[in-house]
Amino acid sequence: MNKLDKRLLRLVPLVGVVVGLVLAPSGCGQTGPGRYVLSGTVTYEGKPVPVGEIHLAPDTSKGNSGPGTIALIKDGQYRTQPNRGIVGGPYIVTILGFDGVPVGDSEAGSELFPPYRVEVEFPKQSTVYNFEVPSARAQKP
């Protein structure tokens, strides 16, 4: 088994909640909202993010009560799993990016930028959405 990135371990409680939200509506009868595939690219300073995660949480403050999900970033590309994607509407997106060069216990490597958060309104259909993470100097705290 590969060593786990300690920084990602702190996300385990969040992942458990997201997995619960993802699996809950997928019961035997596949009840719940229709889900759409979301895919695209993630770049930072004009270059593809080597390794990372995109956390997609429905923005409940704007009336979206759909399920959340996570997509893995590999070589600047991401894609949600079929039937585990988004429902469309307003989402809060958090992007974690790493350099992909293993160091110590971290298989993902060093963090490229602090977690980047952005609000996005997605259509109610499968879609491609490309993220450009601004330079760490340009990000607001």
pTM (two decimals): 0.75
Q: Taking 80 as the threshold, does the pLDDT of residue 31 lie above it? A: no
Residue at token pair 């956390």: 55
At residue 68, φ and ψ (nearest 5 deg) are -95, 170
* Percent residues over pLDDT 90 in the chain: 65
Task: Report the pLDDT value the prediction gives residue 104, as an integer from 0 to 100.
Answer: 86
CATH number of 6-25+38-132: 1.10.10.60, 3.40.50.150, 2.60.40.10, 3.40.640.10? Answer: 2.60.40.10
**Environment class of 7 (CB within 10 Å of its CB; exposed 0-12, middle 13-18, buried 19+):** middle
Task: Report the pLDDT value the prediction gives residue 82, as an integer from 0 to 100.
Answer: 85
